[in-house]
Each structure stands twice: as C-alpha cells, then as structure tokens.
C-alpha cells in the first residue's frame, strides 16, 4: 500500500502535457488581446490628435488675422489632418467621413455649414463643420466654433472569434477664444 501511495503522489503520467496544452493557448490568446487592443488604443489616440490638429487650424476668430476663403481653410484643415496621420504612419486614404450627430446648427449670420473634405486629393475624407453652434440645445448662450470628425478602420486578427474589424470614430469641437 505504501509503494502505491508513493507512486500515486510522484507519478503524473502525462498530466503536465495536458495542463500545458490547455494553459498555453489561453496565455497566447491573452497576450494577443493585449497587443491588438493596445494598438487599437494607440490608433484611436492618433486619430483624435489628428482631428484636434484639424480643429486647431480650422478655428479662426482672430480679429486682426486675415480670414481665409472657405476653400482654402478646408484645404488647410485637410493638410493638418493628413500630416498628423502620416506622422504616426497611418494611411490618410483610409479615413472615412463621419457626420456629426446630432446635425450641427449654423451660427446666426455666419453662413456656416458642414462639408466632406478630401484629404490631399485621395479617397480619405474628413467631415468639417465651420461656424456652427457647439452647445446647441444647451441653456447656455450659443458658442460658435468648428467640428472635425472622421472614422478610421482598424483591422486585427484575433483567432477563434468573428471580431476582426472595428471602426474607430473621433469628433473634436473647438471654439475660438475671444
């Protein structure tokens, strides 16, 4: 009986192999998930930065500054967004316009509105709203500004799931300092 108990305590007869066969794929899936979702978070931060750069360029309320024609302003906004995306090695041609929801309301007497702006002649587009109310529906007095929004597709490979593509959306509002 004693020898049988020793053998039972010391002998594993392949148990480690079965445990490794279960644990290693789970560990691999967790590591892949950390990598892919971390990369998605990085890309979201990058597109949010690009939209902020576009909004920064798009806001022009300086009284002594020469006002640009609307077409020239849209071109500068597109150039700022493109430059920010390319600085992080993202392809601006993948950017898709993402209309603002709810629809932007033009500021009184400003002639503002929204349009889709192509990024440097490519297929990528940004939704740019100029001279619109940023706090429409709020009890506060209206504030005019710009909105830059777009979405960027992110594809990742996560085995054993149907989750392999997500659209990261960003929308940035900026009002001019008075």
Cis? peptide before 102, omega within 30° of 0: yes
**In this predicted structure, what is the pLDDT of residue 70?**
59
The tens place of each residue's pLDDT in the chain, 178 residues long, gives: 777 777 666 766 667 778 888 999 999 989 988 998 899 999 999 999 999 999 999 887 544 445 555 578 888 889 999 999 999 999 998 888 877 766 778 877 767 788 888 887 678 889 888 888 887 677 777 788 889 999 999 887 766 667 778 889 999 988 876 5
- Rg (C-alpha) for the chain, rounded Å, is 26
The structure tokens listed for 63 are 């009284």
Q: What is the pLDDT of residues 23-53, one digit of tens each?
A: 999 999 899 889 988 999 999 999 999 999 9
**In this predicted structure, what is the pLDDT of residue 45?**
95
**In this predicted structure, what is the pLDDT of residue 67?**
54
The structure tokens listed for 49 are 């930065």
Assess contact for 108 and 70: CB atoms under 8 A.
Answer: no
What lies within 8 Å, CB to CB, of 178 at 6+ separation is: 61
The structure tokens listed for 43 are 């890309």
**In this predicted structure, what is the pLDDT of residue 152?**
93
**In this predicted structure, what is the pLDDT of residue 63?**
42
Q: Global pTM?
A: 0.78
Helix, strand, or coil (residue 166)? strand
Residue matched to tokens 């503002």: 112
Assess contact for 61 and 67: CB atoms under 8 A.
Answer: no
Domain boundaries, the chain: 2-175
What lies within 8 Å, CB to CB, of 97 at 6+ separation is: 116, 125, 126, 127, 149, 150, 151
**In this predicted structure, what is the pLDDT of residue 89?**
92
């Amino acid at each position: 009986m004693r020898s049988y108990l020793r053998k039972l305590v010391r002998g594993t007869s392949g148990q480690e192999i079965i445990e490794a066969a279960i644990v290693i794929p789970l560990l691999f899936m967790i590591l892949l998930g950390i990598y892919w979702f971390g990369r998605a978070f990085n890309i979201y931060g990058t597109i949010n930065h690009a939209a902020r750069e576009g909004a920064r360029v798009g806001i022009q309320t300086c009284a002594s500054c020469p006002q640009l024609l609307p077409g020239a302003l849209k071109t500068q906004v597109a150039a700022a967004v493109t430059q920010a995306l390319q600085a992080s090695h993202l392809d601006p041609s993948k950017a898709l316009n993402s209309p603002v929801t709810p629809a932007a309301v033009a500021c009184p007497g400003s002639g503002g509105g929204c349009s889709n702006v192509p990024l440097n002649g490519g297929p990528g587009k940004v939704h740019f709203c100029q001279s619109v109310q940023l706090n429409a529906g709020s009890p506060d007095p209206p504030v005019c500004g710009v909105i830059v929004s777009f979405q960027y597709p992110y594809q990742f490979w996560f085995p054993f799931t149907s989750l392999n593509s997500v659209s990261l959306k960003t929308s940035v509002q900026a009002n001019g300092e008075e």
